[in-house]
Structure 1
Amino acid sequence: MEVILKKEEMGEVLNEVDFQQLKIENAQFLERIDERNQDLLQLKLTTGDTLQVLNCYKKRLQNTMVESTHLAREISVRNDILQRIELETEQVEQERAKAESINKKLRKQLSDYRVPDVLEYVQEKMEQEELEKNVRTWERKVEIVELSLKTQRRNWEQMKAASLMQEYGQLH
């Protein structure tokens, strides 16, 4: 409408055909604008859907990152545990080897061990008891000699003291 007024002001008068032509062009432009608006609206809807999908993927990515961090820590902890278990296994294997070596030695000793005959055992037992009896007898004899020695020392000390007393008495 503005275009028409400007043209009228300039001295140009539009005829009816031109006016109809402008109306048709205007309607076509309005139709195109509506189509573009529909396209824009469709693009906005698609953008909204895409943003929702994008946000969903971002959330999934965030959850996956958190889970990945957690799993990395879990893997690290399990690796540490595995290393400790391997060390303990190595120590246990060494201890087992030592125990097996000792066991072999003991089995060899056991296989080499000879049990004495009953009569031989009884004879050795009797000899042992006889030796123990002799030891007790000697111990008693030693005690008697020690007591006798103590008594003699005491007597000697008394005689010495008496002698000193006599000498002291004679000097005064």
Structure 2
Amino acid sequence: MQLKQKEEMGEVLNEVDFQQLKIENAQFLERIDERNQDLLQLKLTTGDTLQVLNCYKKRLQNTMVESTHLAREISVRNDILQRIELETEQVEQERAKAESINKKLRKQLSDYRVPDVLEYVQEKMEQEELEKNVRTWERKVEIVEVNVRYIWPINTK
């Protein structure tokens, strides 16, 4: 009954048509196999590419960590350098002050004149003579003051 309906509709397959369909089916299966081989090759290539990509990502991550570490290191070293420069300026100023004081003292030392021994002895003798005279005069003043206290009131009576 189905064959009759198909014959009426013209859908009955002839032997030639069936052979033609087998050939086309074989060709399509061949193309599918080729495409599957291409797909497998692409999957292998994709896997290799992903491995390389992951390797590069890991290297990039390590490089970024190292870059951050080096940036901090550079910052610390710049701070140290600035402190050293400030200390160098301070030391240079202190050195300049010490040098000027040293020059001043050297000038004083070069201008200093030590008297001759004979001159020194003579000056020392004069100083002792003057001190002796001062003591003598102070003694005389004390005597006069004592006399004035005791004698003066008597004479005024």
Q: Under a length normalisation based on structure 1, what TM-score does the superposition of the two structures give?
A: 0.67
How many corresponding residue pairs?
149
Flag the 1:135–1:79 CA change in 2: closer, same or farther, 3 A.
Answer: farther
Alpha-carbon separation, structure 2, partners of 1:5 and 1:60: 73
Deviation at 1:110, TM superposition (A): 1.4
Alpha-carbon separation, structure 1, partners of 2:48 and 2:101: 77
Alpha-carbon separation, structure 2, partners of 1:4 and 1:112: 144
- For the residue of structure 1 that corresponds to 2:95, the secondary structure is helix
CA RMSD of aligned residues (A): 4.3
Alpha-carbon separation, structure 2, partners of 1:5 and 1:80: 100
Choose 69-78 or 124-133, whichever is displaced more.
124-133
- Identical aligned pairs, as a percentage? 95
Flag the 1:140–1:20 CA change in 2: closer, same or farther, 3 A.
Answer: farther
Deviation at 1:41, TM superposition (A): 0.8
- Give CA-to-partner distance per residue, 1:115-136, whole Å, 9 cap, x none: 2112123334555677788999
Flag the 1:146–1:61 CA change in 2: closer, same or farther, 3 A.
Answer: farther
Deviation at 1:100, TM superposition (A): 1.1
> Which consecutive residues of structure 1, in runs of 5 or more, have no partner in the other structure?
151-155, 157-172
**Residue 7 of structure 1 contacts residue 13 of structure 1 at CA under 8 Å; is this kept in 2?**
yes
Q: Under a length normalisation based on structure 2, what TM-score does the superposition of the two structures give?
A: 0.72
> Which consecutive residues of structure 2, in runs of 5 or more, have no partner in the other structure?
153-157
- For the residue of structure 2 that corresponds to 1:19, the secondary structure is helix
- Give CA-to-partner distance per residue, 1:62-98, whole Å, 9 cap, x none: 1111111111111111111111111101111110110
